[in-house]
Structure 1
Amino acid sequence: MGATSVSSKVERVDPAGPGPATEGSEDTAAAPAPGRLSALRTPKRPRLWFELLLIALSYGVYSVIRNAAPTRVEQAQDHARWIWDVQDAMGLAFERSVNHAIESVTWLIVSMNYYYATLHFVVTIAVLVWLFRSHPGRYGATRLVLFATTGVALLGYYFYPLAPPRLMEGMDFIDTASVHHTWGSLSAEGSAMASVSNQYAAMPSMHIGWSLWCGVTIFVLARPLWVKVLGLLYPAVTLLVIVATANHFWLDAVGGLICLAFGYAVARLWYGASCYRLPRRVGAPGQEEPRVQPS
């Protein structure tokens, strides 16, 4: 009886035998797929070489697509006139007044010209470097916000050509970079900048989209109060600059804000939490990562 009882027990737990034990084994074998997806959605420490390559490739693709949009001058002029009329109906068509007023102050408008041509890239890269070094656990998600924002903006450039105020016909806007011969003029005929840039990719404004991304990131994550204040001032000053230099309507800025909201939504859906609520630091590649708590 004792031998029979032992044999019976062995048969009941034999994983090769029929019954619930076998079914459980098959269920376990099918489980790794959700695990891989979960791993992709878990914050990881960024790798420098990969990030440099990704940023370079992404900006290259962005530039190619942005500049490959068909040059539809008549349609771009019609869209610009429509936006101007909408703003005028709202009593908010103030771009030309700002443009003329600030253009008369040479040192100020020249400074704004250089601001427009350079800080768009310098500040954005600086914030990415800061995130990489000081907030590696939040870097990937916050970078995803920037990439998704820029990606959806390409739809606007391709399907909604828009002449910037400085190129509007019969509106007497001043192309401040061209008048003051500062580097970065996009409309000076024969210039290197004009030959490589799509003149009619004004909606949405990525100067606003990127500067708002920088400003929000700095305000939320920086600790010194004065740095937070600078974060808030950066997109506000950028709005003044894009209007004063006649590169954008203020409605272009609204378009940039909408694109940024889309970018934050994409990152929130992918990571299951706000990019700023993810762990500040994570383990080295290959180590177990902390579990993200949805917010």
Structure 2
Amino acid sequence: MDPMSGNLTNPVEPPQWNSKPAWKLPGWAEPVIVATILFGAMILTRRRGYRILGGKPGPYRSYLDSSQTDSARSSDELLAYDPENEDDAQEYTAATKQLPKERRICGVLVHTPNTSRFKNNIHSRILQRFPFLIEMFYWIINYAFYRMTSILSQRLFAATGIWAVAEAHGLAVLEAEQFGWLSVLFPIQEKDVQQWFMHGHQDALTVLNKVYALIHIPGTVGFIAWYYALAPSHPTFATVRRTMTLTNFFAFIIFIFYPCMPPRLLPKEYGFLDTVRHDDAQSVWMSGKYVNSLAAMPSMHFGYAFCIGCTLLYHSGIFRTKLEKGERRKNLFWKTFYLVLGLAYPTLILTTIVATANHYFMDAFVAFCLVVVAFFCNKIFYVFLPLEDWFLWLLRAEKPIPSTGERFRELGFRI
């Protein structure tokens, strides 16, 4: 690696820090922000007209199931099956017969337990009242898998030393960007971006450090909450959720088998500055014993941002000639708002991850590719539906019907 990496060294004179270290958010603040977003979304998307306790449950149709509303209906009635707002290819099985569910997985017919018999259990009724709880559970699983990548990667490279391996991989990324066949895609070097901010734009870099630390998790969680509430249909929301989740799992595999040191942790002779350490810009979610600090490749900051940006562009309706059922055409203000935000957010995150030396340009490019692949392959998660059925059966719980978009379409909002 020495002959090769020698071409990459370009020591720079460390500029003086003129800006003071940024203010530090208390350690408890981030969890409070995320919890507020999640529980706020849970309340906002709650099933209206449905009580957890009391009353005799019976068939009920939501506002979206009929062109007319009936305010006299009992608030205790259970929702009937809504095929227009269901996701994950679930097939309806009559609750009265309690027949096994039929799942087709890769062309194979699989029978799983019908959990509708548990619809009146208290935890089922809580889920029916607050269906967003299911989404919260999915993302807890995601975060748990991320935490495991550090442990698995360290064990895999215990003999050779994961730090040395990650450094070699980081240098290999730099070498590929500058001298490889893909170098035409990377005309600007990461160190040049960071040095531009360090010379005369340090206050802006301080802001970017905080953007890196504070937007990734709260911003992504906020997006999930927002789109669950406003998506034109739950299948559309579920497509985005599955795409982001599958991108996660692709990235987790790479984290384990290709640990990669971020530029800021490379030896100083490669010209990168650890601005994160200066501003103490480390997210509480990305610190602690099980955090994988050698997971630069790919950049999930940019992967999430790109997926969110594409969703915002789709939601604007500008690039669609046909809207979904029940969706209304947005006015010029909202179209422009989503268009600008959809382009600006990924651009901001890309600038942030490079300027703070947390990622290479290649990390963002690989994340972009993974999102595209995940979008076209997101239905692979259907193979886990039988497992979900069995898990719910063990819990004696019925999966709730999602409430995506109901409240806002009921009120006639066009946002």
Question: Residues 68 and 101 of structure 1: is their aligned pair in 2 closer, same or farther, counting only changes over 3 Å?
Answer: same
Q: 1:74 aligns with which of 164, 187, 212?
A: 164
Question: Residues 76 and 51 of structure 1: is their aligned pair in 2 closer, same or farther, counting only changes over 3 Å?
Answer: same
Question: Residues 200 and 93 of structure 1: is their aligned pair in 2 closer, same or farther, counting only changes over 3 Å?
Answer: farther
Q: 1:177 aligns with which of 253, 276, 290?
A: 276
Q: 1:242-270, CA deviations, whole angstroms, 9 ceiling, x for partnerless residues?
A: 11000111001111112111210222567
Alignment of 1:191-270 (within 5 A): 193=287, 195-222=289-316, 223=330, 224=334, 225-267=336-378
Question: Residues 50 and 33 of structure 1: is their aligned pair in 2 closer, same or farther, counting only changes over 3 Å?
Answer: closer
Structure 1 vs Structure 2 CA RMSD: 3.1
Q: Which structure has more helix as a fraction of its residues?
A: 1
CA shift, 1:33, in A, is: 5.1
Write the distance in 2 (CA, Å) between the matches of 1:174 and 1:215: 29
Write the distance in 2 (CA, Å) between the matches of 1:30 and 1:268: 22
> Residue 133 in 1 paired to residue 232 in 2?
no
Extract unaligned runs of 5+ from structure 1: 1-28, 40-44, 187-191, 272-283, 287-295
Partner of 2:397: none
Alignment of 1:107-186 (within 5 A): 107-135=203-231, 136-137=233-234, 138-169=236-267, 170-179=269-278, 181-184=279-282
One-letter identity of the residue aligned with 2:360? F
Q: 2:141 aligns with which of 57, 64, 78?
A: 57
Partner of 1:99: 194
CA shift, 1:95, in A, is: 0.6
Q: 1:207-234, CA deviations, whole angstroms, 9 ceiling, x for partnerless residues?
A: 1110001100111113411222111111
Question: Residues 200 and 69 of structure 1: is their aligned pair in 2 closer, same or farther, counting only changes over 3 Å?
Answer: same
Check the 8 A contact 1:67/1:196 in 2, yes or no. Answer: yes
Q: 1:88 aligns with which of 178, 181, 199?
A: 178
Given the two structures, how large is their TM-score scaled by the length of structure 1? 0.71
Q: How many residues align?
A: 235
CA shift, 1:63, in A, is: 2.1
Given the two structures, how large is their TM-score scaled by the length of structure 2? 0.51
Check the 8 A contact 2:149/2:292 in 1, yes or no. Answer: no
Check the 8 A contact 1:110/1:182 in 2, yes or no. Answer: no
One-letter identity of the residue aligned with 1:166? R
> 2:140 aligns to what SS in structure 1?
helix
CA shift, 1:197, in A, is: 2.3
Write the distance in 1 (CA, Å) between the matches of 2:103 and 2:297: 40
CA radius of gyration, larger in: 1
Write the distance in 2 (CA, Å) between the matches of 1:251 and 1:72: 21
Write the distance in 2 (CA, Å) between the matches of 1:64 and 1:31: 33
Write the distance in 1 (CA, Å) between the matches of 2:220 and 2:203: 25
> 2:137 aligns to what SS in structure 1?
helix
Q: Identity across aligned pairs (percent)?
A: 24
